[in-house]
Amino acid sequence: MPAPPKDATPAELADWLEAMRRGIDLRLDSEGAWWHEGAPFAHAGLIAAFNRGLDVHPETGEAILRVGDRWCYVKCEGTPFLVRRLVPGANGLQATLNTGETYPVPPEGFITRGAHVYVRLAPKREARLNRVTQARLAEWLIEGPDGLQVKTATGAWPVRVTEAGR
């Protein structure tokens, strides 16, 4: 990483830092695998730390990786957040993300876009169900009075079907 320019103004330093944060070739693919300069990460501990540090920039909404008080941008194929597990419980359906965070599935339920299913769990936390979780979701699908629903012993959530890309 090149050093910042000598005698740089605060604005020039900010521009340099932004270029460094964007210049890191860190990518998260659509299945949740981490890549750097075209090669996948294999170290389980590093992958777990990256998943825990995944976030979105508060102003731009772009995916970022936080490590302590430092961060950089992450190029993502789709949404950075993936639902790895859905668990029905006394408090409804709980979704666990690739970050380790767990959220209740909101009453608004699920959205399909093309072949993928998404759920908005919190502001800036729209997540796509991974393949395994989406297959599990299919076990709970029923045709309800208002259309397609996900039904478990603890409740029902609508599934809104949209056109691809909307």
pTM metric for this prediction:
0.84
Query: Across the chain, what does the average pLDDT equal?
Result: 89
Q: Which domains, and CATH codes, for the chain?
A: 10-76 (3.10.540.10), 81-162 (2.30.270)
Name the residue with higher pLDDT: 38 or 18.
38
Residue 166: pLDDT above 50?
Answer: no
Name the residue with higher pLDDT: 141 or 5.
141
- Give the E-state strand segments of 21-163 in sequence order: 26-28, 34-36, 39-40, 54-56, 63-67, 70-73, 75-76, 81-89, 92-97, 102-104, 110-113, 116-120, 126-129, 141-144, 147-152, 155-162
pLDDT tens digits, one per residue of 61-92: 999 999 888 899 999 999 999 999 999 988 88
Mean pLDDT for the stretch of residues 113-140: 92
Report the alpha-carbon angle 59-64-69, nearest 5: 90
8 Å CB contact between 166 and 153:
no
Q: What is the pLDDT of residue 31?
A: 92
pLDDT tens digits, one per residue of 130-152: 999 999 998 999 998 888 999 99
68 in the Ramachandran plot: left (φ > 0), alpha (ψ -120 to 50) or beta? left
